[in-house]
Amino acid sequence: MRVLLWHVHGSWTTAFVQGRHDYLVPVLPDRGPDGLGRARTWEWPGSVVEVTPAEARGADVDVVVLQRPAELDGLAERWLGGRRPGRDVPAVYLEHNAPQGRIAGMRHPAAGRPGLLVVHVTHFNDLFWDTRGTPTAVVEHGVVDPGPRYTGELARAAVVLNEGRRRGRVTGTDLLPRLGEAVPLDLFGIGAGELAYGHGLAAVHDDLPQARLHAELARRRVYAHPVRWTSLGLALLEAMHLGMPVVALATTEVPDAVPADAGVVSTRVDDLVAGLRRLVADPAEARERGRVARAAALDRYGLARFLADWDRVLKEVTR
């Protein structure tokens, strides 16, 4: 198939474009959010082709993967030369995020839209979003396996947060000082440098390319996940693929995704602090729990299962 989708979420798209289709990715001269084009910090195959607005208007498109309200509310239609997703071109709305706000008001932007299928990345998100009759499906994350690269040679914990300063309590940024008092804490992610001071951090690494990020994470003894409310982080699943043990808040999809034997999963911050101290102090236990984490991640979040699930979804919506 020829699939049109915007480059919105780099890690997710990296897995998605490993499939057997042709992928058309909008590009604009400024490479802003509506035309970012091909990734520059992830490895994408040659089947991913950038298209300008003029090229997209005349392109033969089998299905559109929408990911943002703006795409649903006219952006995709303009790029497609007046063809409306869900009516003139088969379409799915991929929802990456958990809903925000009061549960009674968690109505999805695609709720009640005819001709669409809303695809969630976790069962938790499917439970909480209200789509008001628009059909839904769940395709859990898939990860391009970076390999069992864990060494744990550095007696530190790694955390990956994007825009932690702006997102604050959502990403558990306020918990970093407590965790950092227990063990040296190294922060990775977009905007990490904004939290260099006053957050209990031993070091910060701002927006590394994916290959280097994986190499650096694998050197840390344990992966810490203090996120309160967000969709299941791909960085967490990538850390598990690397063979890292996990210390994580038991919120959203995490309790279902991280086995108990893979580390420590709890809503008690004291338990997380104690878990970090124990695993950093005991390399043998850390390595064994990391082995469990990798096995679980390969079994549930492997790339082959992810791509097969998406093939079924795309086949169904284009039927």
Find out whether 289 and 262 touch, Cβ atoms under 8 Å: yes
Q: Residues 112, 65, 233, 34: what is their CA dihedral angle, to the nearest 10 degrees?
A: -100
pLDDT, position 254: 98
Q: Within this chain, do residues 137 and 179 fall inside the same structural domain, yes or no? A: no
Q: Within this chain, do residues 164 and 245 fall inside the same structural domain, yes or no? A: yes
Q: Is residue 284 part of a domain?
A: yes
For residue 20, the domain's CATH number is 3.40.50
Q: Within this chain, do residues 107 and 240 fall inside the same structural domain, yes or no? A: no
Q: Within this chain, do residues 176 and 273 fall inside the same structural domain, yes or no? A: yes
Q: Is residue 149 part of a domain?
A: no
Q: Is residue 235 part of a domain?
A: yes
Q: Is residue 195 part of a domain?
A: yes
The model's pLDDT over 136-167, given as tens digits with 9 standing for 90+, comes to: 999 999 999 999 999 999 999 999 998 777 88
pLDDT, position 199: 64
Q: Within a 13 Å sphere around the CA of 27, how many CA atoms are in the beta-carbon half?
A: 14
Q: Within this chain, do residues 51 and 120 fall inside the same structural domain, yes or no? A: yes
Q: Within this chain, do residues 293 and 311 fall inside the same structural domain, yes or no? A: no
Q: What is the rounded average pLDDT of the residues 232-239?
A: 96
pLDDT at 236 over 60: yes
pLDDT, position 70: 98
The model's pLDDT over 284-301, given as tens digits with 9 standing for 90+, comes to: 999 999 999 999 999 999
The model's pLDDT over 180-230, given as tens digits with 9 standing for 90+, comes to: 999 999 999 887 778 765 666 888 888 888 889 999 999 999 999 999 998
Q: What are residue 203's DSSP bridge partners?
A: 186
Number of domains in the chain: 2
For residue 158, the domain's CATH number is 3.40.50.2000
Q: How far is Cα 141 from Cα 234, in angstroms, rounded to an integer?
A: 8
pLDDT at 246 over 60: yes
Show the tokens assigned to 248.
Answer: 């994580």
Q: Within this chain, do residues 181 and 255 fall inside the same structural domain, yes or no? A: yes
Q: Within this chain, do residues 99 and 158 fall inside the same structural domain, yes or no? A: no
Q: What is the rounded average pLDDT of the residues 168-184?
A: 93
What is the extent of the structural domain holding 190? Answer: 154-301
Single pTM value for the model? 0.93
pLDDT, position 77: 98
Q: Within this chain, do residues 178 and 313 fall inside the same structural domain, yes or no? A: no
Q: Within this chain, do residues 135 and 32 fall inside the same structural domain, yes or no? A: yes
Q: Taking Cα atoms as reference points, which of 18, 9, 8, 5 lies closest to residue 46?
A: 18
Across 54-148, the runs of DSSP E, i.e. the strands, are 63-66, 91-95, 116-120, 136-138
pLDDT at 135 over 90: yes
